[in-house]
Structure 1
Amino acid sequence: MPYTATRSIDDTVVAITGASAGIGAATARTLVDAGARVVLGARRTDRLTALVEELGEQNAVAVPGDVRDPEYNDALVAAAVDRWGRLDTVIANAGIGAYGGILDLDDTLLREMVETNYLATVWTVRSAVRRFRAQGDGGDIVIVSSVAGFRGGADEAVYAGTKFAQVGLGGSLDRELRAEGIRVTLICPAGTSTEFAIGAGREEGSPELDAYLRPGDVAHAARVVLEQSRSVRTTVWQLWSAQQQS
């Protein structure tokens, strides 16, 4: 039986961080296919520009910048309001990772990982919640975390710590915001074949990537969550490839 949505997201407005590649770009494509309009956030202006050209300027707008800056997240929300008059969903997807023992990675990289994966998620959520409350009709917060947020692994202690923090944030926000009609969902994929950690523990073209999830698998999960009836909320969705060892 084909998948059938229980709620249309046609003409809804979705802001996506980390949208220049991988899961973020795949999610933008999937949601535009479902009729949504997207605000694309990331640091790589050239990638965002190309994605807007692909999706069409009537469907997408790019806001280049650094998600670690709280003011940037406000600008991302403002772009949605300026262009389409509202914001319905924010997808906090920006993230970086690197593999190595606790003494193997330099201080600068570790700080960037914590700030990008956790603090930036907080700033993105805060900007969106302010807008949702101003609109007064609820909204959706989707945090793209990881199965590493439930079970740490060797050589990924700091990365896993940031994902545990996202899981704690999402669970607490669900309890805080659901009475206002703001749904909070954690989408937690296992290994996904993207640019993630390439050159920092993963190698491009590595055979192990063939057994991983594809970005579109995670994007589909985001679409399903948003197309659920407003009477339903999904708090945690873990995804594993059928081929990857858990």
Structure 2
Amino acid sequence: MPYSPTRSIEGTVIAITGASSGIGAATAAALVDAGARVAVCGRREDRLAKLVTELGDDKVVPVAGDVRDPALNDALVAAAVRKWGRLDTMVANAGIGAYGGIMDLDDAELTEMVETNVLGTVWSVRSAVKQFRSQGDGGDLVIVASVAGFRGGADEAVYAGTKHAQVGLAGSLDRELRAEGTRVTLICPAGTHTEFAIGAGRIEGSAVLDSYLHPEDVAHAVRVVLEQPRAVRTTVWQMWSMQQQS
């Protein structure tokens, strides 16, 4: 047979964290469109229910909860396995941010940001790897981070620190897990027009948001890396809109 640079992900089973809105919800829609089945989690149960209504309860299973809880991540994987028998991919997408100088945000805000962005990613990865190893055939880990993980900006020091942590985590996981058939992809978008940081440094309706990436752009990147042949891996994908400074 002739070589094909793409493969179908129809019928694969994918877990997505932070899927109640923004990039996570767009990714769920893009992957279901490609024929995948998705288990989604987020803190807003009503948003997850809306996603199920839009995409179909035969294609989506929701699990409400906070990604900072290791048990939530285990429950997400278990829901996918219970409904479809396996897990092929984890998209660790959940994340929050707020703008402000190092002394401007309070202790609770900073703690939530670090725990969500760093520990939430670690817990989702561990839950997925445990399942991949029980299946014995590897899988895909896709970590949605940010270009801030390579170059932090003013008034986002702690946020950028959490994204640098994700960059380091992904690089190490690639070296650790590749031999057992697990690919690790780091997707790093610049500013994306979502609910991210609205009221915490971004203003809903601001004209600058129109110059940002769309969540569907990032969702497309996730789909592209998953549709690569299993012999190919993309380790880092940075994304900017044409109107944004890099």
Equivalence for 1:98: 98
Deviation readout 1:27-79 (Å, 9 max, x if unpaired): 00000000000001001000000100100011001000111000111000000
- Cα distance in 2, alignment partners of residues 40 and 180 from structure 1: 25
- Cα distance in 2, alignment partners of residues 209 and 180 from structure 1: 41
Matched positions, count: 243
Aligned-pair Cα RMSD in Å: 0.8
Structure 1 residue ranges (4+ consecutive) displaced by more than 3 angstroms after TM superposition:
none
Equivalence for 2:53: 53
Equivalence for 2:87: 87
- Cα distance in 1, alignment partners of residues 135 and 238 from structure 2: 31
Is 2:234 the partner of 1:228? Answer: no
Which runs of structure 2 are paired with 1:1-246 in the superposition (5 Å)? 6-246=6-246
Unaligned runs of 5+ in 1: none
Code of the aligned partner of 1:57: D
Partner SS for 1:62 = strand
Could you tell me the percent identity over the aligned residues? 77
State the shift of 1:231 in Å: 0.5
* TM-score where L is the length of structure 2: 0.98
Deviation readout 1:110-138 (Å, 9 max, x if unpaired): 00000000011000000000000000111
State the shift of 1:237 in Å: 0.2
* TM-score where L is the length of structure 1: 0.98
Partner SS for 1:40 = strand
Unaligned runs of 5+ in 2: none
State the shift of 1:177 in Å: 0.1
- Cα distance in 1, alignment partners of residues 120 and 40 from structure 2: 15
State the shift of 1:5 in Å: 6.5
Given that 1:68 and 1:120 are in contact with CA atoms closer than 8 Å, whether structure 2 keeps it comes out as: yes
Partner SS for 2:91 = strand
